[in-house]
Homo-oligomer: A and B are copies of this chain.
Amino acid sequence: MAKNESTQPEIARPYANGVVWRRLSPLATVLVLILVWHWITDWQLVSRILIPPPAQVLQSLAKALADGTLAKHAGTTLGEMMLGLPLGVSIGLAIGYAIAKAPLLEYILSPIIVAFQSTPIVAYAPLLIIIFGTGPSSKVVTTAVIVFFPTLVNTIVGIRGVSPRLRDLMRSLNASRWQIFRKLELPSALPVILAGLKTSATLAVIGAVVGEFVGSGSGLGVLVISARSQYDTPLVYVTVLTMTAIALSLYSLVALVEWRVLVWQRRST
């Protein structure tokens, strides 16, 4: 099969034909997962206390939707992410670009950068609360911190991988720095940068939620802890599935951009 695919000259075809199928396949996966989940609870393979049946979760979802709980908390978390994600990503892009241009910077900055990435939030929670308060801004920070690193390292590698020949071409055309970035470096590094963004986008949810764990009045992190502390397992599931849905949407968004932008790579495979 794989062999056939690469020997046939009609390379663009499978993509064109497969589009509908491909778009639907994640839904199929979700359906299968729900079925498996249903069976697990139906046959009581695991206690219902630990894994509630899908129907119960659906009911809980309906309720959380109806009384606005879910919307409120998801709204908070989304709001935090929508600031933290672009913030962290842009800093990652900027510093990553700088490091790619001046490799010494990587050595100088690595202790700081790695420290940011490897310190659990509990350790600096008091600082965070004192400096940013208990409002959304501290969660924007935790999101930005967690999101920053994957974008950074992938930007470095992406920009370093730009063809030196094409750099020569741009220089010979007297292109400005900005033009070199916009017309050469960015498109050339894009596949790798987008991979970094995929990691960043899915980590963003965790970043906001973990920030909320530190101390918050609303948000999915608060909802999940509150549901857990009230032993409302179906609501825990509703909350977690909401997080996954958000992460999956962001992931899909990046995947869509990737798909659109990399026509040339698909066509030339």
Contacts and interface: CB of A to CB of B under 8 A. Distances in A.
Given A154-B195, A157-B195, A191-B161, A243 B110 contact: no
Given A102-B2, A243-B120, A244-B118, A107 B191 contact: no
Contact of A2 (B101, B106, B203): B101
Interface string A1-13: 0100010000000
A205 B116 CA distance: 12
Given A120-B209, A130-B50, A243-B120, A111 B33 contact: yes
Given A25-B108, A191-B157, A240 B119 contact: yes
A202 to B, nearest CB: 4
Interface hub of A51, A126, A198 (most chain B Cβ within 10 A)? A198
B160 A224 contact: no
Interface string A41-68: 0000010011100000000000000000
Interface in A93-147: 101-104, 106-112, 114-115, 117-120, 122-124, 126-127, 130
A28 interface: yes
Interface string A182-221: 0000000001101110110011011001100100000001
Nearest to A28: B108
Interface in A220-269: 221, 224-225, 228, 236, 239-240, 243-244, 246-248, 251-252, 255, 265, 268-269
Chain A interface bracket (under 10, 10 to 19, 20 to 34, 35 or more): 35 or more
Nearest to A18: B104
Contact of A123 (B122, B161, B199, B240): B240
A236 B121 CA distance: 12
A153 interface: yes
A74 interface: no
Contacts of A198: 153
Nearest to A228: B122
Contacts of A126: 49-50
